[in-house]
């Protein structure tokens, strides 16, 4: 519910930016007052209640992160810039909302003083409570304060919009499309490779094998180039809330795996690839890959594919899809698996079952029971 308040506040309150911009371009003040009458007061009232809600919610979020220090917010995943990024944004939103409310409060005091240029708009619900703070100021000081809040508010909004693509808060734009494009199959359902399925089929039924079969270009994914567009959209939609990591049984038991870190590492690698392309006009090999350089083998092996991270995500992200693709490349292209796994793979390849019994002896136990 708190995220809904802050998101609705961010989107809806910014509708008033349209009036602020037009006022700046046309040299007017509260351009829409003559056009909308009492509707204008009703709309600004709504914006102010949302602004107050945003201030309250952002304050709660800051307390949860920095004073209560919930476990998922003090994880080493967020060390450095990710933790600072979240705090900077929350503080910025509080400042922007306070500027908006102060601008409206000083505006109402100037209206009451009959100051030229300040139209009568009626009383606004929240900022009206702040007017006693400014009633003793001179008209000149009030105009300076109101104009300062106006400039800082609009400048802050535009600065925030420019910062957005470089911040994890890009998720406020991508969360909805990411949820829309989520897979409709049961969560955690693994995608099989037709090439692998056919190879098994041809081993069992050689007569079905065609004369010539093109080998697949790759098995799974070793770098972001082999991941799907949905995997990359998942990475950029991540809110870094940590609910996936908090639900991960591997992480709970002290293993190195953190589904949140998987998404952050994928995004970091995509960013580095983008910078490489910007610099050279095409990708130039940098001797790095997502697998090994950004995400370790130990992380991948710790995953039990239990699907808890997928179920926990509030914006329909699937860290499991990326883990499975990387693990598929690790095993099928690098033959990099623990010895315990290799014996199982060998049995499946030779005996079509995880156990070390030939297919001809598989029903021997039944014969012995009848005998």
pLDDT at position 137 over 90: yes
Does position 371 have pLDDT exceeding 70, yes or no? no
What tokens were used for 79? Answer: 């060390």
CATH tag, 194-337: 1.10.1060
Q: Which residues, including other chains, have CB under 8 Å from residue 130's CB and lie 6 or more apart?
A: 101, 102, 105
Q: Could you tell me if 99 and 153 are in contact, meaning their C-beta atoms sit under 8 angstroms apart?
A: yes
141-174 CB burial, b ≥16 within 10 A, e <16: ebbebbeebbebbbebbeebeeeeeebbbbbbeb
Show the tokens assigned to 66.
């920095």
Residue 107 has a pLDDT of 92
What is the arithmetic mean of pLDDT over 229-235? 96
- What does the domain layout of the chain look like in residue ranges? 2-166, 194-337
Q: Which residue has the tokens 């909004």?
A: 157
Least confident of 16-25, 36-45, 46-55, 68-77: 36-45
| Residue 273 burial by Cβ neighbours in a 10 Å radius (0-12, 13-18, 19+) | middle
The label of the residue with tokens 């003040």 reads 29
Residue 295: what are its φ and ψ, rounded to 5°?
Answer: -125, 125
Give backbone dihedrals phi and psi of 82, rounded to 5 degrees, phi first: -55, -40
The token duo for 22 is 């037009």
| Res 198: pLDDT | 83
Most confident of the following: 18-32, 76-90, 249-263: 249-263
Contact (Cβ atoms closer than 8 angstroms) between residue 257 and residue 302:
yes
Least confident range of 194-203, 294-303, 347-356, 361-370:
361-370
Ramachandran bin of 122, using left for φ above 0, alpha for ψ from -120 to 50, beta for the remaining angles? left
Q: What is the dihedral of CA 237, 239, 243, 248, to 10 degrees?
A: 50
């Amino acid at each position: 519910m708190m995220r809904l308040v802050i998101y609705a506040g961010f989107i809806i309150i910014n509708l008033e930016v349209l009036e602020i911009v037009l006022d700046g371009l046309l040299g007017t003040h509260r351009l829409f007052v003559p056009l909308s009458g009492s509707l204008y007061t009703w709309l600004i009232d709504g914006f102010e209640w949302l602004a107050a809600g945003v201030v309250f919610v952002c304050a709660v979020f800051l307390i949860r992160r920095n004073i209560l220090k919930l476990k998922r917010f003090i994880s080493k995943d967020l060390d450095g810039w990710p933790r600072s990024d979240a705090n900077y944004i929350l503080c910025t939103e509080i400042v922007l909302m306070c500027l908006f409310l102060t601008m409206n409060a000083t505006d109402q005091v100037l209206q009451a003083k009959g100051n030229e240029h300040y139209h009568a708009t009626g009383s606004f619900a929240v900022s009206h409570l702040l007017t006693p703070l400014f009633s003793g100021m001179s008209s000149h000081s009030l105009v300076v304060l109101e104009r300062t809040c106006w400039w800082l508010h609009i400048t802050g909004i535009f600065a925030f919009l420019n910062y957005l693509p470089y911040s994890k808060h890009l998720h406020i734009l991508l969360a909805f499309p990411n949820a829309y494009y989520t897979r409709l199959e049961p969560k955690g359902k693994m995608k099989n490779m037709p090439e692998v399925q056919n190879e098994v089929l041809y081993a069992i039924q050689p007569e079905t094998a065609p004369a010539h079969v093109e080998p697949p270009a790759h098995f799974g994914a070793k770098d972001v180039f082999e991941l799907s567009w949905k995997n990359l959209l998942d990475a950029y939609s991540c809110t870094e809330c940590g609910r996936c990591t908090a639900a991960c049984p591997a992480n709970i038991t002290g293993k190195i795996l953190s589904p949140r870190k998987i998404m952050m590492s994928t995004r970091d690698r995509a960013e580095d690839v983008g910078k490489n392309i910007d610099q050279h006009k095409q990708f130039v090999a940098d001797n790095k890959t997502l697998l090994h350089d950004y995400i370790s083998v130990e992380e991948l092996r710790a995953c039990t594919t239990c699907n808890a991270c997928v179920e926990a995500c509030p914006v329909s992200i699937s860290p499991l899809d990326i883990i499975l693709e990387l693990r598929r490349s690790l095993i099928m292209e690098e033959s990099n698996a623990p010895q315990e796994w290799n014996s199982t793979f060998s049995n499946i390849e030779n005996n079509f079952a995880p156990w070390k019994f030939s297919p001809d002896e598989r029903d021997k136990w039944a014969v012995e029971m009848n005998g």
